[in-house]
Amino acid sequence: MNIRELSSISNTEIMVADNQSTMSTLPWNTPPYDKKVQFKNWLEILETDFLLHDLEDDRKKKMILRMKLGVELLAEIPTTTDNESYSAYKERLIEHFPKGKSQEDYQYMLAATSMEWSVKGLEDVVSLIKKAHPNDSSILQGAVLLLQMRKVVKDLPLLREMEHWKNETIHEIKDRMEKEIHRMPHGRQHQKRKMTCFHCNFPGHVEANCDRKRRGLPPGDYVKKKEEERRIKPFVKEELQTNRISVPLQSSREITKGNLQYQKSKKRVSVLMDSGSDFNVI
């Protein structure tokens, strides 16, 4: 059956208003075939319409199938003959079309997905987003990732922080979420932390309000730096004892040469001290 014959059939058997019996058996609910949809899935919808309309005639089934495929696509797919059954022709078409999932299939999968709170779960969702929205920019893909993350994130500080990620790419958001997953490895049960800045790692504020970032300081773990400074800072003695008399320490110039003692946690330590020189702990 060629395109001219198909056009003839459509004019005589389908579009003629007087032929009400034929019109009543035609399944118009199925949309025309779209290449973005997997052919086998679309064909199942069409055949459901056949069942609903009690359409059993092979010739009419094949005619409607070819009409739904459209004139442009008919030029690309295998031709058929009047003697070929609908079932045989259908199987040949299924073999002709790719069997992989379509973009629409991936979009359905993404809508039904709830991300597992792990690095692998995050990577799976990112991969699914790229398949469901291959033609979108990385920023639009990032917006879709944020929507997916809001399904599983219950930590209010993190939700507030995510509001500042709207104009970032999917890769930048993925990197940020990996940090959060490492901070809260057990998911919702551990999503109870203080607000922490990604720029300086100090609690109590978010990156958008970070004073260190505003002053142009580079990103880093400033909490760790602060702890290191405390460890290497010389011990400042609050009180010295000379002959059991408390002497407040103001500066080394006020202390004369001699043997001094200070008390820390009920432990006495003898210190030999000279003005202008270093401490020598005995």
pLDDT of 132 above 80: yes
- Per-residue pLDDT tens over the stretch 12-45: 344 433 334 444 445 567 788 877 777 777 888 8
Q: Where are the domains of the chain?
A: 3-96, 103-193, 239-281
Residue pair 143/166 in contact by the 8 Å Cβ criterion: yes
Q: What is the mean pLDDT of residues 271-279?
A: 46
pLDDT for 168 equals: 92
For the whole model, what pTM was predicted? 0.37
Closest of 244, 243, 264, 259 to residue 274, by C-alpha: 259
Give the model's confidence band at 210: pLDDT under 50 very low, under 70 low, under 90 confident, else very high: confident
Res 274: pLDDT: 46
Among 76, 71, 93, residue whose Cα is nearest residue 84: 93
What residues have CB less than 8 Å from 7, skipping those under 6 apart? none
Q: Which of the listed ranges 41-50, 90-99, 194-203, 273-282 does the model predict with the highest average pLDDT?
A: 41-50
- CB under 8 Å to 197, separation ≥6 — which residues? 203, 204, 205, 206, 207, 209, 210
